[in-house]
Amino acid sequence: MPPSTLGRSSKSSSGRYLSFADREEIALWRAQGHGVREIARRLGRAASTVSRELRRNAATRSGGLEYRATTAQWHAERAARRPKPAKLVTHRALRAYVQDRLAGAVNAPGGAAVPGPPVLWKGRRHGPRQPRRWARAWSPQQISRRLRLDFPDDGAMRISHEAIYQSLYIQGRGALRRELTACLRTGRTLRVPRARSRGRGKSHVGPEVKISERPAEADDRAVPGHWEGDLILGLGSSAIGTLVERTTRFTMLLHLPRMPGYGDGLRAKNGPALAGHGAEAVRDAITRTIITLPEALRRSLTWDQGTEMTEHPRLRIDTGLQVYFCDPHSPWQRGTNENTNGLLRQYFPKGTDLAAHSADDLIAVATALNARPRKTLGWRTPAEALDAVLRSAQTGVATAS
């Protein structure tokens, strides 16, 4: 009869995992004084695999880290037993952190919660024309990465984004309610690929304001103050304008309410665009919003070739922004803005009336988006990145004076 320590308590391992024979070889070569890299070379494995094996499965009863094959095999098989309790079930503080970042309330500048539209949970995939729940709505990856910044010294406050997804979509895996999938950007109850929207636009600009004439400092994102803009459209020709700073990803939303007389009879020929996103309305909204920023953050604006920007010469005079236009049907030339519009569709779905949202609603949504950590910013938030830029500018002015 073999020793009980060699009795299997889990399925036989595949070639992906170390076998008992591999562990015998590691123990022998370790006793002979070979280093981790030499053992890995002989075994045909990565050095990190051997290092992790020696650290995790060593015998610790004697007070040291002596490595024995039988003890290591026992440790490995015990760790491989399934099912295991999910971390979000056993760790209350971590579960509360994750739920707050997924489903926390969107707040107005004064601190009051903005409930957003009433949304009933339906146990099926959300269609594109259904209202979406308003929440802080950090993605699982943002939550996972931000934990390292918020709790640098607490190793227990760590979880992978895949574990969060599994807790949401596989109900036997964790403590998160299935309803919280409505707080994800897609809002889907199934994990499926997402189709990309097509670009739009009409060519009506001269070669002197094409994107090819934009300065190189805007392309490499080294200097802040270069913006990308667009409109997101809704039901009944409603629209919201978006402005995104290329370096910090800071987002501002333009309130474009319908004008008096919209829907009352026929529209006057060559009259103003009563839907609220004509050239003059867009120009005035950009001017009101962008003029609140320091001059150093008003360098350029890149837009598509939509007719809403035909007033760009006046906009350049009023704000000091140099305006540039993408090539026709080339939305990837405004990649930052296209990505941001996708994020905003969580709050403003296609096919819904965007005119129903007030200016305070837009400020609340922009605040929530600017408080989400971003991978491209080293898991800082756009608000933190912009604050660092402003502080650096103030320090530079003080030093020069």
Task: Write down the domain spans for the chain.
Answer: 20-81, 87-183, 211-262+271-399
Tell me, what's the pLDDT at 2?
A: 47
Rounded to an integer, the average pLDDT of 45-71 is 85
Q: Report which of residues 35 and 265 the model is more confident about.
A: 35
Identity of residue 208: E
Range in 14-18, 247-251, 346-350, 367-371 with the lowest mean pLDDT: 14-18
Q: How confident is the model at residue 202 (pLDDT cuts 50, 70, 90)?
A: very low
Predicted confidence at residue 174, as pLDDT, reads 59
DSSP letter at 18? -
Q: What is the mean pLDDT of residues 14-24?
A: 86
* Amino acid symbol at 224: P
Taking each helix axis from N to C end, the angle separating 36-43 and 47-56, rounded to the nearest 10 degrees, works out to 110
Round to whole Å and give the CA distance between 44 and 38: 10
Q: Report how far residue 346's alpha carbon sits from residue 360's, in angstroms, rounded to the nearest whole number.
A: 17
Helices 312-319 and 279-290 sit at what angle, rounded to 10 degrees? 20
User: 84 pLDDT exceeds 80?
Assistant: no
Rounded CA-CA distance 370/225 in Å is 16
pLDDT tens for 363-381 read: 999 999 999 999 999 999 9
* Strands (DSSP E) found in 256-297: none
Mean pLDDT of 135-144: 91
Block residue for tokens 């036989």: 12
Return the pLDDT at 171: 63
**Residue 227 confidence (pLDDT):** 95
pTM above 0.75, yes or no: no
pLDDT band at 63 (very low <50, low <70, confident <90, very high): low
At residue 104 the predicted structure's pLDDT band, cuts being 50, 70 and 90, is: confident
Give, in words, the CATH class of 211-262+271-399: alpha beta
In this predicted structure, which of 133-142, 325-334, 388-397 has the lowest mean pLDDT?
A: 388-397
Geometric angle at alpha carbon 116, from 293 and 184, rounded to 5° = 85
Residues 6 or more apart whose Cβ sits within 8 Å of residue 249: 336, 340, 374, 376, 377, 382, 385
200 has a pLDDT exceeding 50: no
- Cite the DSSP H helix spans in 266-358: 279-290, 312-319, 335-344
- CA 97 vs. chain centroid, Å, equals 17
pLDDT at residue 230 is higher than 60: yes
Rounded (10°) angle between helices 335-344 and 359-370: 110
Residue 178: pLDDT band with limits 50, 70, 90? confident
Q: Which residues contact 372 (CB under 8 A, 6 or more apart)?
A: 136, 137, 138, 139, 142, 381, 382
The neighbour count for residue 290, using CB atoms within 10 Å, is 21
pLDDT digits (tens, 9 = 90+) for 307-348: 898 889 999 999 999 999 998 888 899 999 999 999 999 999
